[in-house]
Amino acid sequence: MQLTRFSDYGLRLMMMAAANRDRLITIEETARVYDISRAHLMKVAQFLVKQGFLTTVRGRSGGLKLARAPEAVRIGDLVRATETDFVMVECMGGANQCRITKACRLRGIIGEALGAFLDVLDRYTLDDLMLRPEDFGIRRAA
Amino acid sequence: MQLTRFSDYGLRLMMMAAANRDRLITIEETARVYDISRAHLMKVAQFLVKQGFLTTVRGRSGGLKLARAPEAVRIGDLVRATETDFVMVECMGGANQCRITKACRLRGIIGEALGAFLDVLDRYTLDDLMLRPEDFGIRRAA
């Protein structure tokens, strides 16, 4: 069981923006800090801007920043947005062809478990994940 | 977010064995009922035998049956066994190279959410998922 890379990168990008919220961050810098694909991170960033989690500032010294205060961003909401589907088992997806679907109770039970998973994430906000720029290997200007 | 196909097939195989526990079931029959890969199902079956969930009866009219009563098989234990890892985010796996791992609280929060997910599954047993042979399109002998 795992979250998509899309969610993983989304969480990391939001944590980077939160730790450096006194300035704009860039995709280049974030990809370098985490040593991950710039192209993938760009897609995640565009999505998070569209969903109202990040704001873009255009221009030569432009970049990204949080659209809301860290304590207003619930981790559950972030994961619900980036995990575009939760097809835990085949019958939860559109391509389902499992023969016993009609009578089967598994989907309901897995759905209940998934609800409990997200309920825990809803108890935390980005503020609970707050780090310092130094934790990303970033030195602050004096 | 999704369970592995291995877990999905494991749950389905156990449900098939539970519904037909008055006789032995076979891989061939189960693969046909669900219209899924016989080879994959065979690997799952071997694993579940090894883990003490299923028992093999050898011979020409051999097959598989539940190793324990349905009410003694917790869904949480089954999923814990078949989901051989729960690397929800990179830092939960062996190949982790995320720079902020040392200071990051995400792993703990995801781990807590995962615990809540499995706690719900522990409240159900295979007996709660019990179906009739007819639900699998199987006619009972008169």
pLDDT at B84: 79
Q: Give the right CATH number for A5-132 from 1.10.260.40, 1.10.10.10, 3.30.1330.10, 3.40.50.300.
A: 1.10.10.10
Which residues, listed in sequence order, are joined to residue A63 by a DSSP beta bridge?
A57
Name which residue leads in pLDDT, B68 or A61: B68
Q: Is the pLDDT of residue A141 over 80?
A: no
Q: Which residues of A touch B115 (CB under 8 A)?
A: 120
Strands B63-66 and B54-57: antiparallel
pLDDT at A96: 86
Model pLDDT for residues A58-99, shown as the tens digit of each residue? 988 899 999 999 999 999 999 999 997 888 888 888 888 888
Beta-carbon contacts of residue A96 (< 8 Å; ≥ 6 apart): A90
Q: CA–CA separation, B96 vs B127, rounded Å?
A: 39
DSSP state of A57: E
Model pLDDT for residues A85-137, shown as the tens digit of each residue? 888 888 888 888 888 988 899 999 999 999 999 999 999 999 999 999 999 98
Residue B64: enclosing H or E segment and its boundaries?
A: strand B63-66
pLDDT at A113: 96
Contact A67, A56 (CB under 8 A): no
Contact at CB, B34 and A99, closer than 8 angstroms:
yes
A124 touches chain B (CB under 8 A): yes
Model pLDDT for residues A30-40, shown as the tens digit of each residue? 999 999 999 99
User: What sign does the CA torsion over A26, A29, A30, A36 have?
Assistant: positive
pLDDT at B86: 82
Residue A54: enclosing H or E segment and its boundaries?
A: strand A54-57
CA-nearest of B4, B51, B96, A131 to B12 is B4
Closest partner CB to B109 (pick from A12, A110, A124) = A124
Alpha-helix runs per DSSP H in chain B: 5-19, 27-34, 38-50, 75-82, 106-122
pLDDT at B85: 80
Contact B36, B8 (CB under 8 A): no
Closest chain B residue to the Cα of A105, Cα to Cα: B129
pLDDT at A122: 97
In three-state secondary structure terms, A34 is helix
Best A100, A109, A121 member to test B by mutation, with max B CBs in 10 Å, is A100
Q: Is the pLDDT of residue B39 over 60?
A: yes
Q: Which residues of B touch A88 (CB under 8 A)?
A: 1-3
Q: Was domain B5-135 assigned CATH 3.40.50.300?
A: no
Model pLDDT for residues B101-137, shown as the tens digit of each residue? 888 999 999 999 999 999 999 999 999 999 999 999 8
User: What sign does the CA torsion over A85, A90, A94, A95 have?
Assistant: positive
Query: The tokens 């369970």 sit on which residue?
Result: B3
